[in-house]
A and B are shown apart, each in its own frame.
Chain A
C-alpha cells in the first residue's frame, strides 16, 4: 500500500505544480499594461483588426471570465493563435519541439557521461591532482554562461572540427540528389553536436560534484571491502559495485537540472541558430508574439514537471528505502 500512497502523493503534487504554473502563466501575461493585442508590433493592422483580435481572444471580458476561458481552452489543447502568423500556436510549436528534444537529450547525455567519468575519477583518486583537476574543471565549466561557451566553441573549435555552426540541416543537401536516410541522419547529428556539446559542458560540473560525493559514500561501504577482499579488479569494484549503487542520486539530479539545461538551451539555440523552442522563444520575444511565448514557456514548464515526476517514481522503484 505504501507504493500506491507514494505514487498518488507525487502525482497529486505534480498536478498541483501544473496548476500553479498554468495560473502563473495566466497572471503574468494578463498583468501587462495594455493587452496582448496592443503590444503586438504591427504597424499596418487596422483598429478593426485589433478589436476583432480582442474579441476572439476574449480580452473584452472580466479577468475571472478570461481565466475560465483560458483554462477551458488549455484543457482542449488550444493555446490560441500566433499574433504574427495567425497560425494556431500548437502547430507553430511542433517543428521546434522535434528539433529541440533530440538536441537537449544529446546534451544531457554528454553531461551525464562527462559528469560520471570525472566524478568517478575524482572519487577514486581522492585528494590527488586528478581529483582537483576534475573538480575545478567541472566547476569552471559550470560557471560559464552557456551562450558565451557557445561563442567560444564557434570561434575556436568548430572550424578545427569542421562541424557546422548554424541551422539544423544542410540547405544544399538533397538538391542535386535524393539523400538516403543515413546521409540525412549524419547531417542532423553534425548540426546537433556543437549545441549539445555546449549544453553538456556547461551542465556536467554539477554532476561531477554529486557523483563524486555519492561515490565516496559508496566506496566506504562494506560490500566494496568485500569485493576487494574477493580479489576483484579495481575496474570491477569501481564501475560495477561502486558506480551502480552511486548512480541513484543522478536520476534525481538530472531531473532537477533539467530546468537549467532548458534555460541554457534557449541561449545556446540562439547562438547556433538552431531552430528549436529556444530560438522560437527568442523570436517571440523579439516580435512580442505573446501567445507563442506563453505556450512555449508553459511547454517547458510542463516538461520539467513531468520529468521530475518520472524521476521521483523511477527513484522510488529503484530504491526501496525511499519513504516519505
Chain B
C-alpha cells in the first residue's frame, strides 16, 4: 500500500470538534445514489425478515413436513427440501442466522480493526511500525483457508463462527482507519486541542474518533458482506452449528441431500440468491459510503478524465463529477 499523506491540514475541512457523529455525512451519499437506495431497500427487507423470523415461521421451520422435494405449488410456495420442510420458511429462518453472523462478525472486525488502526495512526512511531507489520503479515495469509482451518479446530457453534470470522477480517479495516487517523491527527483543530493540553485519550475519543467513525461504518457494511459470504464456506464444509439454519447450511443441505440428482432446482437456487442479494446490497452501500468519505478515492475519481476528445462546446464538463471536494494534489504512485 502506498504511503499516506500526512501533511496538509485542510482549513476548510476543519469543523468544530464535533461530539456527535455526522450521520448526514454517512447517509447523504447513499440517498443520492439510486442503486444504493435499492440496495438499502433490499437489505431492509432481509433485516425485517431476520428480526421477525420467529413470528413469521414459528420457532421450528422444520416442524411442518411435506413430501420430499415437492416442486413449488400453492401449499409450498418455494417447494420443499430434502427433508420435506418448506423452503420459504427455511429461507426466512436462515436470514436470521446469516444476518446475525454477518452483523456480529462485522462488528467484531470493525472493533479490532478500528482500534488497531486508530492506535497505529495516532501514535505513529514504533507502535505504528509494529502494528502495521503484524497487519501486513495477516493481509498476505489467505483468509478463507485460515478461517476454514480455525473453524475445523474450534467451530461448530454459531458464536464460535462469529468470533472466528470477526478476528480474521480486521486487516483491511486497520489499514484504512490508520490512513484516515493519520490525516485527521494533523488537522488544525486537533493540533490546537493538543496545544491546549488535551490528553491523548481525549484527543482520540473527542476529536479523532468522530471523524473516523463514518469511514469505519462504511467499512463495517463491507465486512458484513464478507462475513455472510464466508459463512457459506464454513457451513458447506459441515463446520457450521448443526442446530442452526443459515443460508450456507441450506446450500450444503441441497448438496448433501442430492437435490441435483432430483433436479430440485428450488432447493438449490433460493439460498444462493439470498446470499448474493445481501452481499451485493452491502457491497454497494459500503462502497458508496466509502467512495464519498475516503479522500484518497476521491482524488482517484477526479483524475479520471473523459476519453473521447470533446468538442469545444463540451469542454467545461470535462470533469465527470464536479463535486463536493477540493482536489488534493495527487501523490506520486
| Other-chain residue from A140, A145, A220 in contact with B248 (beta carbon distance below 8 A) | A145
Q: Are B238 and A145 in contact (CB under 8 A)?
A: no
Considering the complex, which residues of chain B in the window 271-302 have a beta carbon less than 8 Å from any beta carbon of chain A? 271-272, 275-277, 279-280, 283-284, 300
Q: Are B143 and A147 in contact (CB under 8 A)?
A: no
Known: A147-B255, A321-B333. A262 touches B307 (CB 8 A): no
Instruction: Please name all residues of chain B whose beta carbon is closer than 8 Å to the beta carbon of A217 when the two chains form the complex.
Output: 303-304
Cβ of A264 < 8 Å from any Cβ of B? yes
Q: Are A270 and B236 in contact (CB under 8 A)?
A: yes
Q: Are B307 and A286 in contact (CB under 8 A)?
A: no
Band of interface residues on A:
35 or more
Instruction: Please name all residues of chain A whose beta carbon is closer than 8 Å to the beta carbon of B275 when the two chains form the complex.
Output: 143-145, 148
Q: How many angstroms between the C-alpha atoms of A297 and B151 in the bound complex? A: 13
Secondary structure of the A contact surface, majority rule? helix
Cβ of B150 < 8 Å from any Cβ of A? yes
Instruction: Please name all residues of chain B whose beta carbon is closer than 8 Å to the beta carbon of A216 when the two chains form the complex.
Output: 304, 307
User: Distance in Å from the Cβ of B266 to the closest Cβ of chain A?
Assistant: 11
Cβ of B83 < 8 Å from any Cβ of A? no
Q: Are A145 and B148 in contact (CB under 8 A)?
A: no
CB-based nearest B residue for A149: B272
Cβ of B21 < 8 Å from any Cβ of A? no
Q: How many angstroms between the C-alpha atoms of A147 and B260 in the bound complex? A: 13
Which one, B61-69, B134-142, B209-217, is touching chain A? Answer: B134-142
B interface size (C-beta, 8 A): 53
User: Distance in Å from the Cβ of B101 to the closest Cβ of chain A?
Assistant: 14
Instruction: Please name all residues of chain B whose beta carbon is closer than 8 Å to the beta carbon of A236 when the two chains form the complex.
Output: none
Cβ of B268 < 8 Å from any Cβ of A? yes
Known: A144-B272, A151-B251, A216-B304. A266 touches B232 (CB 8 A): no
Cβ of B60 < 8 Å from any Cβ of A? no
Q: Are B305 and A220 in contact (CB under 8 A)?
A: yes
Task: Beyond the given A145-B275, A145-B276, A270-B236, please list 12 additional residue pairs across the A-B interface where CB-CB is below 8 A.
Answer: A21-B141, A29-B153, A142-B283, A143-B276, A147-B251, A148-B268, A148-B271, A151-B254, A220-B304, A260-B142, A285-B237, A297-B149
Q: Nearest 6 A-B pairs (CB), nearest first?
A: A263-B144, A259-B142, A220-B305, A148-B272, A219-B307, A143-B279
Which B residues are within 8 Å of any A CB, using their own CB?
133, 136-138, 140-146, 148-150, 152-154, 225, 229, 232-233, 236-239, 248, 251, 254-255, 259-260, 263, 265, 268-269, 271-272, 275-277, 279-280, 283-284, 300, 303-307, 309, 332-333
Which A residues are within 8 Å of any B CB, using their own CB?
13, 16-17, 20-21, 24, 28-29, 32, 123-124, 126, 139-140, 142-145, 147-149, 151-152, 154-156, 213, 216-217, 219-220, 224-225, 228, 258-260, 262-264, 266-267, 270-271, 281-282, 285-286, 293, 297, 300-301, 304-305, 308, 321
